[in-house]
Chains A and B, each alone.
Chain A
Amino acid sequence: MAANHCFRRLASALSHGPQPPPTPPASLLQRVALSSSAPSTGPPPPEAVRKGEGEEAAEAKGADADAEAGKEEHEDDGGVHVNKATGEIGGPRGPEPTRYGDWERGGRCSDF
Chain B
Amino acid sequence: MANLTNGFVSLHCAGAMHVDKGHMQASGLPFLSFRRCSQLDISRLGSVPRFMGAKSATVSLHYVRHRISAIRASTLSCLQDDTTKFFDFVVIGSGVAGLRYALEVSKHGSVAIITKAEPYESNTNYAQGGVSAVLCPSDSVESHMEDTIVAGAYLCDEETVRVVCTEGPERVKELIAMGASFDHGEDGRLHLAREGGHSHNRIVHSADMTGREIERALLQAVDNDDNISLFGHHFAIDLLTCQKNGEIYCYGVDSIDIETQKVVRFISKVTLLASGGVGHIYPTTTNPLVATGDGIAMSHRAQAVISNMEFVQFHPTALSDEGLPIKPKTRRENAFLITEAVRGDGGILYNQSMERFMPMYDDRAELAPRDVVARSIDDQLKKRRENYVLLDISHKPREKVLAHFPNIAAECLRYGLDITRQPIPVVPAAHYMCGGVRAGLQGETNVKGLYVAGEVACTGLHGANRLASNSLLEALVFARRAVQPSIDHMLDADGDASLAARWARPTLPWSSLGDGALADIVERTRQSRTELQSVMWEYVGIVRSTGRLKQAEWKIGDLESEWEEFLFRRGWKPTMVGIEACEMRNLFCCAKLVVKSALARRESRGLHFTEDFPYLEESRRKPTVIFPAAVQELTWSSKPLQRQLQCK
Chain A positions near chain B (C-beta within 8 angstroms): 4, 7-15, 19-20, 26, 29-30, 32-45, 52-57, 62-63, 66, 70, 82, 86-92, 95-112
Contact = CB atoms under 8 A, between A and B. Distances in A.
A41 B342 contact: no
B207 A90 contact: yes
A103 B614 CA distance: 30
Contacts of A56: 185, 191-192, 201
Interface residues on B, range: 35 or more
B370 A29 contact: no
Given A56-B201, A92-B208, A11 B195 contact: no
A41 B192 contact: no
B128 A103 contact: yes
Nearest to A59: B194
B193 A109 contact: no
Interface of B: 126-130, 136, 138-139, 147, 150-151, 153-154, 183-187, 189, 191-201, 203, 205, 207-208, 315, 336-345, 360-364, 367-373, 375-376, 379, 400, 403-409, 411, 431, 464-465, 468-469, 543, 604-607, 609, 611, 614-616, 618
Nearest to B606: A37
A86 to B, nearest CB: 7
A19 B197 CA distance: 23
Contacts of A13: 604, 609, 614-615
A16 to B, nearest CB: 9
A87 B185 contact: yes
Given A33-B150, A98-B194, A104-B340, A55 B201 contact: yes
Closest 7 interchain pairs by CB? A111-B129, A43-B344, A101-B196, A107-B405, A106-B407, A104-B339, A110-B128
B400 A29 contact: no
A61 to B, nearest CB: 9
B200 A14 contact: no
Contacts of A32: 150
Given A13-B615, A34-B616, A40-B198, 8 more contacts: A30-B616, A37-B371, A63-B404, A87-B186, A99-B344, A103-B128, A111-B129, A112-B315
Contact of A38 (B126, B185, B191, B196): B196
A54 B352 CA distance: 45
Give the one of A12, A32, A98 with max B CB within 10 A: A98
Contact of B367 (A42, A88, A89): A42
A63 to B, nearest CB: 6
B195 A89 contact: no
A101 B186 contact: no
Contact of A92 (B207, B409, B611, B615): B207
